Structure 1
Amino acid sequence: MAEFRQAALKDAPALLDLSLRAYAPIRALGIHFAAATADLALVEKNVRENMCFVMEEKGKIVSTISARMPWGPSPGPYGVPHLWWFASDPEAGRKGIGREMITWAEEAMIRDTLKSPAVSLGTADRHPWLIDMYKRRGYDIQGSKDLGKGHLTVYMKKILIPNEGLGGH
């Protein structure tokens, strides 16, 4: 059974290993995500500055996702938590790990714990299937921006609590 928790600095080496293995296809596509070429210092910075979550099975980290906070050093564009650094173990042997990880982060942490009415994320316009995957998960494209990484970053947002903080009562 999967267990979810916030990452600690001691998890950084395992997170680096997971990230580099999970992002190998991204590197092959020539897409420049920070997680794809991370080093230990960048992983530690992510754990210190953001809410970095892990999913463990039998004591092994099999998935991770981080949320950058609007008040943190690297906020997303919409004043809500911004998901990034999403990775699942390509050798974990079962489908659905990533879906479980992102659902837990969206619902248990962002919606239920932080009470955020929405969550955002960014992905590369050149990625062959991520935009469609996030659309199926309820994310809507909000805009795009050239961040100088060789692709357009497509910003997407998902409403988690309808009418909360969005002009409704």
Structure 2
Amino acid sequence: MSELIRLAVPEDAGRLQYIIYEAYVTIRELELQWPAAHADLALVQDNIVKNECYVLELNGEIAATLTLLKEKFYLWDTGLPFLKWFAVDPKYQGLGIGTKLLAWVEKSIIRDNLGAPAVTLATAEKHPWLLAMYERKGYERIESVDHNNRDGTMHLLRKVVNPELFNVWIQSKEEERLHH
């Protein structure tokens, strides 16, 4: 089985729209207000163009996707990279494909390319398994908020990808806080 991780191109939008739609069934059933859950082709194309949208191909077919947001996340501004639109084609779920893509982005892109100490993402408390899944992958809850939009409590999660750099980063944040 050949695997390839690469940046998505606009021509991938149709396949990505399918994967995201199929993978986000539970999100729609829970009536979470996540744009990706109802993304049309134009929104998927916009995501590919404006962000770093990574895909993992198996034997030439896109099996999973994960996006690194390029602009500041409007709900939380931590100064750390933010991941979104993580999805695995249901026919490939349970094979570790999503874990492989997530780990690759965390190490190769977040830690090595960007030189960031940690990465963030957010998920809803009312989703039956996402919060526990991210915590098993090393993410910790750092902030919670209810935006009164029917999503319920949303959790911002963080994973440290470079512990030495993270300690320096935390110290600098503490010093900033003390000087303001």
In the alignment, is the contact (CA less than 8 A) between 1:31 and 1:126 conserved in 2?
no
Q: Of the two, which has the highest radius of gyration?
A: 2
Q: 1:136 to 1:92 in 2, by over 3 A?
A: closer
Equivalent-residue separation in structure 2 for 1:67 and 1:115 (angstroms): 14
Equivalent-residue separation in structure 1 for 2:118 and 2:147 (angstroms): 23
Equivalent-residue separation in structure 2 for 1:44 and 1:91 (angstroms): 23
The size of the alignment, in residue pairs, is: 166
- The alpha carbon displacement at 1:2 in A equals 1.4
The yes-or-no answer on 1:89 pairing with 2:89 is: yes
* TM-score of the pair, normalised by structure 2: 0.85
2:155 — aligned with what? Answer: 154
- The alpha carbon displacement at 1:101 in A equals 1.2
Q: Mean alpha-carbon deviation: is it higher for 49-58 or for 20-29?
A: 20-29
- The alpha carbon displacement at 1:63 in A equals 0.1
- The alpha carbon displacement at 1:167 in A equals 2.6
2:175 — aligned with what? Answer: none
The yes-or-no answer on 1:24 pairing with 2:28 is: no
Q: 1:147 to 1:41 in 2, by over 3 A?
A: farther
2:52 — aligned with what? Answer: 51
1:63-78 maps to which residues of 2 (within 5 A)? 63-69=64-70, 72=71, 74=73, 76-78=76-78
Identity %: 37
Amino acid at match of 1:18: I
Q: CA RMSD in A?
A: 1.7
- The alpha carbon displacement at 1:99 in A equals 0.8
Equivalent-residue separation in structure 1 for 2:114 and 2:94 (angstroms): 30
* TM-score of the pair, normalised by structure 1: 0.90
Instruction: For structure 1, list consecutive stretches of 5 or more residues without a partner in the other structure.
Output: none
